[in-house]
Amino acid sequence: MDYRASEHLIPIFDFGVLHLELNTALFIFVLVLIVMYSMNRLLFNPVLRTLDNRSQMLGQLRESTQQQLREIEALDRDYQTQLAQVREEVNTYRQEARRDAQDAVEAVLADARKAVEMDLSAALSELEKEALRLRDELAQRVGGLAQQISRRVLE
């Protein structure tokens, strides 16, 4: 079997030293297949495997990130509830402290009122005694003046 090109095609594919023959075309085709297989095996498959691994790792990282975000949101909710509870307790303690302080102020004021009332009653009793003494003294003086006036009138 002769794989030579037909006679009418020879002038078209006659490149001088380089003749396009079926054997050459088949040889080039086989070489291209071998090179493609080798490149696929040695270059493309490892690169595609690396890209697949990378995409898988990115997916895992994305899932991990989503899980961590959910955990952070849960922790934030817990923190907010605990913060609200602490604020409520602080407000309760403030109100109790305010009531205790108000009760203490009222007790001090009541003691002060009692002390002032006692001082006032002591001062009033002292004033009454002083008024009685002054009245007695005034009565004596009036009596003395009356005697002096009656002596002068009689004299």
Q: How far apart are the first and last CA of the chain?
A: 195
Q: What is the pLDDT of residues 48-74, one digit of tens each?
A: 999 999 999 999 999 999 999 999 999
Residue 20 has pLDDT above 70, yes or no: no
Half-sphere exposure of 122 (CA within 13 A, CB side): 6
Q: Within 10 A of 123 (CB to CB), how many other CB atoms are there? A: 10
> How far is it, in rounded angstroms, from Cα 139 to Cα 71?
99
Q: What is the pLDDT of residues 72-106, one digit of tens each?
A: 999 999 999 999 999 999 999 999 999 999 999 99
* CB-based contacts of 22, cutoff 8 Å, min separation 6: 3, 4, 5
